[in-house]
Amino acid sequence: MMSLNEKTHIGEVVLNVENLKDMKQFYQTIIGMDIKTETSSAVSFGAKEDETILLTLQSVPAGDVDVRSTGLYHLALLLPTRQDLGEMLYHILVSGYPLTGASDHGYSEALYLDDPEGNGIEIYWDKPKTDWDIRADGQIAGVTEPMDAEGVIAEAKKAFSGLPVGSFMGHVHLFVADLDRTEAFYKNLVGFDLKFDFGAQAKFFAAGEYHHQIGANTWAGKGIPAAEKGTRGLAYYTIVVPVKEDFTRIQATLDEQQYAYQLDEAANVLSLEDPNGITLKIVQG
């Protein structure tokens, strides 16, 4: 199995939301995202001075949601510098919006919070690679320790003015039903490398020398059902594959394994579900 090009990355994350007005306000004022496109039923956001869409909210009718289902654990916005994280942290604290955590993962420092509809959000910066625990086999070990919040805030040099230039969707972390089937899909079919293995609890996958672009865990329970389509939560996320040969190879592997997908030839987009019923789109671009 050929590994994916190291420039492969997570693109747009699309959330189904019940209260578009409140969710729009949260992502605009608390997270500081710029609105890129807007209709009566959807809003798309990105970072400053960049038209790339990182997040789209699309309106769905209110309804019951099974909290123990596969889907989004968190989306993760990657900021360019520790200073940016400090300015974001200070801004959130001053706003009074509750954080759910702040951690040092060895390779990164991260803030955690939930949006008004319960979608998890991580906002982080990556430490220099010289600080990462990269093993001989290419795996990158992570830890979860308390973040030095005072040190991070001390890096802030100016008032927060929105999601900074150069921010992008660093990774998605998913609730899954079966880790072995998840690994077989993301590693053997798509081509990501397994970067860290927490055995029966979680696995982390990435292209190139990154710690993870996709996290998967069974913390909501093993064998949990897929979320019902069109309900609140993750609608789908995208994987951007910059190299045409990788895109072609993924499609050929799906064909060989008789794995169902839809192809939009004009847009170079493969749409499919992973073994957990989570929809993703693989985009060449």
Per DSSP, the three-state class of 85 is helix
| C-alpha span between 92 and 27 (Å, rounded) | 12
pLDDT average, residue stretch 22-34:
99
| C-alpha span between 185 and 279 (Å, rounded) | 13
Evaluate whether 192 touches 207 at the Cβ level (below 8 Å).
yes
Task: State the pLDDT at residue 279.
Answer: 99
pLDDT average, residue stretch 102-118:
98
| C-alpha span between 115 and 28 (Å, rounded) | 12
Instruction: Give the torsion sign (CA, 127, 128, 129, 134).
Output: negative
Please name the fold of domain 9-284.
2,3-Dihydroxybiphenyl 1,2-Dioxygenase; domain 1 (3.10.180)
The backbone torsions φ and ψ at residue 91, rounded to the nearest 5 degrees and listed phi first, read -60, -45
**Does the pLDDT of residue 76 top 70, yes or no?**
yes
CB neighbour burial string for 252-261, b if at least 16 within 10 angstroms, e if fewer: ebbeeeeeeb
pTM: 0.97
Which alpha helices (DSSP H) does the chain contain, by range? 20-29, 82-95, 149-154, 179-183, 244-256
Task: State the pLDDT at residue 36.
Answer: 98
What is the largest distance, in Å, between two alpha-carbon atoms of the chain?
54
Per DSSP, the three-state class of 257 is coil
Task: State the pLDDT at residue 227.
Answer: 93
pLDDT average, residue stretch 158-187:
98
Split at pLDDT 50, 70, 90, the class of 119 is: very high
Q: Extract the tokens encoding 56.
A: 């789209």
Q: Which residues pair with 76 in a beta bridge?
A: 122, 171
Q: Which of 25, 18, 71, 34 is nearest to 220 (CA)?
A: 71
Mean confidence (pLDDT) of the chain: 97
Split at pLDDT 50, 70, 90, the class of 1 is: low
Split at pLDDT 50, 70, 90, the class of 3 is: confident
- For residue 113, count other CB atoms closer than 10 A to its CB: 20
Evaluate whether 150 touches 115 at the Cβ level (below 8 Å).
no
| C-alpha span between 111 and 105 (Å, rounded) | 11
Split at pLDDT 50, 70, 90, the class of 82 is: very high
Split at pLDDT 50, 70, 90, the class of 8 is: very high
Question: To 5 degrees, how large is the angle CA 97–CA 92–CA 108?
Answer: 120
Percent of the chain with pLDDT over 90: 95
pLDDT average, residue stretch 13-26:
98
Task: State the pLDDT at residue 2.
Answer: 73
Task: State the pLDDT at residue 63.
Answer: 83
Q: Which of 134, 170, 165, 124 is nearest to 8 (CA)?
A: 170
pLDDT average, residue stretch 43-72:
93
| C-alpha span between 48 and 182 (Å, rounded) | 34
| C-alpha span between 103 and 149 (Å, rounded) | 9
